[in-house]
Structure 1
Amino acid sequence: MKPCEIAVIVPVYNAAAYLTACTDAIAAQKFDGFRCILVDDGSTDGSPALCDAIAAGDQRFVALHQPNSGVCAARTAGLRQGRALGARWFAFCDADDLYHPDLLDTLYAAVTNSGLPLACCRYDTFADTPPADAAAPENCRILRGPAHLDALLHDHAVDYGLWNKLYAADLLREDMLDNGLAYNEDLLANWRAFLAAPGCAFCDFAGYHYRQHADSASHRALPPQSIDDQRRAAAEIRATAPAALQESVNAFYYEKLVYLASMILRRANADAYRVQLYELQVAIRAGARDPQLGRNPQLPRSIRLSAFLTLHMPRLWRWACRTFLKDRQ
């Protein structure tokens, strides 16, 4: 058994229908110096027994069980277990998703060759049939700071998720993963990690396959707390951004305000969010003429238009949101 070079952390909550496919893809990794830590977060389906069976059948897998505490606590428990196993690098995977067989090998080569503590790749999405695995690249692109921070906020290929990245063990802290948010917790964790890194190695291939289904996180309707959490994440990012990135971060912040307002307006029960919507409208109005916010040259035209409609044509904009923005309803 090789030493644990990479610890792969998989939070598991009622994922029995997808977990075997997920762990089979991890077991098939070309890079075999890994341990996979399955953290059962108080599941009530067959997941606990399945985690134990997978660990019993493959010594590279470890099963942990804890009372239901949320994905942040599960990832943090996995981080502690990975450190106990001597892991020098950490990767993450959601229990319903799939790894490309070259994911760990490619990201590990990228950090090794670049000397950077962070690497990432693109991801793709699927519903029923996983996409074909494209060939992994031999080289990577280096994003030096602050370009890697800008890419985290604006480049969908880099994305907010933890699961398409590889992190040096000394880059991650428990408070990064368990940061007090239930929504956008991955964005805030990544922002803090990226801030601590001098750059990121980007591997241009879809190394992570993100499964979309009715119960997946990207399709669940979000409660009012989600609006508050996302604003908190955006506010911290704005407050801690380096000066060289301030214009870009301000554009990100204002775009987030407008996006969150649209998320509320598309909901049939928008009245349940009236406090959050009022606060967002006040913030959007206050920033409308600000050259750092509503008139920021990096702000997309579509967001400028959305902000105008939010403030000046709210009934029309609500109809448009409910008619055309079907996700998260």
Structure 2
Amino acid sequence: MVKVSIGVPVYNVAEYLRQCLDSIKQQSFQDFEVIMVDDGSTDNSFEICQEYVFKDKRFKLYHQENKGLAGARNTCLKHMNGEYVTWVDSDDVVELSYLERLVEVQVKTQADIVNCLYYSVTKERNIYYDLRSISPNLEILELSVQEIMLNFINNRYFIAPMWGSLCKSQLYKGVYFPQGLLYEDNGTKFKLYMRANKIAIIPEGLYGYRKNENSIMGKATSDSLIKELNRLRKDTIGNREKLIYYVEVANIRVEEIHKEYLRNLDDHIAVSRLSERDKQKYTQFIKNYERKLLQCWQ
């Protein structure tokens, strides 16, 4: 059995794809397979993926009609054979020691899930962050499921994304990504944490995250922004309510997690770009929703 399966969903990323795949191919840890799923790309992303398949038998390529990121990840899971699973988005990059450090820390801590932290990739430069607020001495953190679930909502450790982590493949049994939702990571990864006995966090920026400059939010006009925010809030609320349900059933620090959820209801930066009238509407929506939650939790 191969040690690590790397899932790479691909959709119209020809500009960055070779940089991503090269950063994987050149890993210092080499016992891996790469499962690439081309999700109906209309540029030459599929042809670029083929180049790597022809040159390296560890790279495997599947094509499907467009199903979105979640659909591509679900297809990746069907073809993975590794003892561990990690994800790399096809416009991102990873440090050459990415896999080596994740595997090394897993062996040392015997954690079921190992997360690393990230740096930002832009066209001009890479931006690295001071991580001492997370770990003052930059020591590896070992956390329980209870601690992780409490911090999942405020994302203090940036633990919600699927990428940047190494997870035992057996934890994925019965797990799938919900299609058609924004930020589907938030409605999925917590399920893996709840199955884990121990989670470790490496306070090192090993994953290079590229913010999508052409995202819907980034291009939205003032007229369409409120509509997109409402869609975002609807999907985010759906993901969070799913998490709340699970922690209530499992009785994991329920009261604390309820309070943390309320504190983080209105945290999207795009709200500042709304007109005053739309800000008032959005704020009223949040207040009404908060009242409903409090009524349910009494």
- Shorter chain as normaliser: what TM range? 0.7 to 0.9
Q: CA deviation at 1:49?
A: 0.9
Correspondences of 1:229-240 after superposition (within 5 Å): 229-240=235-246
Relative distance call for 1:148 and 1:56 in structure 2 (3 A) is same
TM-score (norm: length of structure 2): 0.82
Between the aligned partners of 1:270 and 1:172, the Cα distance in structure 2 is 44
**Structure 2 CA distance for partners of 1:139 and 1:55, relative to 1, 3 Å:** farther
Evaluate the alpha carbon distance shift between residue 217 and residue 161 of structure 1 in structure 2; reply closer, same or farther with a 3 A threshold.
farther
The RMSD of aligned alpha carbons is: 3.2
Question: Deviations for 1:85-137, whole angstroms, at most 9, x for unmatched residues?
Answer: x31110001111111111111111222222221110111112123458x9xx9
Is 1:90–1:168's contact at 8 Å kept on the other side of the alignment?
A: yes
Within-5 A mapping of 1:285-324: 285=291
Distance in 2 of aligned mates of 1:248 and 1:124: 30
Q: Distance in 1 between matches of 2:120 and 2:139?
A: 24
Identity %: 22
**Secondary structure of residue in 1 paired with 2:160:** coil
Would the aligned equivalents of 2:153 and 2:261 in 1 still touch at CA under 8 Å? no
The aligned runs of 1:34-49 (5 Å cut-off) are 34-49=32-47
Please point out which of 83, 88, 92 is paired with 2:87.
92
> Which blocks of at least 5 consecutive residues in structure 1 are unaligned?
294-329
Return the alpha-carbon distance in structure 2 between the equivalents of residues 199 and 220 of structure 1: 40
CA contact (8 A) 1:181 1:229 kept: no
The answer to whether the 8 A contact 1:5-1:87 is kept is yes
Q: Measure, in 2, the Cα distance between the counterparts of 1:116 and 1:252.
A: 26
Equivalent-residue separation in structure 1 for 2:99 and 2:47 (angstroms): 27
Indicate the SS of the match to 1:171: helix
Would you say 1:228 and 2:228 are equivalent positions?
Answer: no
Q: After superposition, give the CA deviation of every residue in 1:34-77 in whole Å (9 maximum; x if it has no partner).
A: 01111100000111111111211222211111000011110111
Equivalent residue letter for 1:145: V
Deviations 1:228-251 (A, max 9, x none): 111111111122214342233213
1:257 aligns with: 265
Q: Which amino acid aligns with 2:98?
A: L
Q: Count the aligned residue pairs.
A: 281
Which residue of 273, 277, 281 corresponds with 1:266? 273
Gaps of 5+ in 2: 131-136, 221-227
The within-5 A match list for 1:20-99 is 20-82=18-80, 86-99=81-94
Shift in Å at residue 165 of structure 1?
0.6
CA distance in 1, matches of 2:190, 2:82: 22
Q: Provide the residue aligned with 1:193 in structure 2.
A: 192
SS at match of 1:4: coil
1:124 aligns with 2:132: no
Q: SS in structure 2 opposite 1:257?
A: coil
Question: How many Å separate the matches in 2 of 1:17 and 1:228?
Answer: 32
1:102 equivalent to 2:80? Answer no
Give the deviation of 1:33 after TM superposition.
0.4
Q: Residue 31 of structure 1 contacts residue 105 of structure 1 at CA under 8 Å; is this kept in 2?
A: yes
- Any conservation in 1 of the 2:68–2:180 contact (CA below 8 Å)? no
**What does residue range 154-165 of structure 1 map to in structure 2 within 5 Å?**
154-165=154-165
CA contact under 8 A between 1:123 and 1:157: conserved in structure 2? Answer: no
Structure 1 residue ranges, 4+ long, deviating more than 4 angstroms after superposition: 216-221, 262-265, 268-271, 276-279, 285-288
C-alpha deviations, 1:258-308, integer Å up to 9, x for none? 236x7556346986x96x7654331234568x8x89xxxxxxxxxxxxxxx
Q: In 1, Cα distance between the equivalents of 2:218 and 2:152?
A: 22
1:209 aligns with 2:208: yes
Q: Is the 8 A contact 1:234 1:256 kept in 2?
A: no
Matching residue within 243, 259, 264 for 2:251 = 243
2:166 equivalent in structure 1: 166
Rounded to whole Å, the distance in 2 between the matches of 1:63 and 1:139 is: 38
Residues 138, 258 of structure 1: CA spacing in aligned structure 2 closer, same or farther, 3 A cutoff?
closer
Partner of 1:113: 108
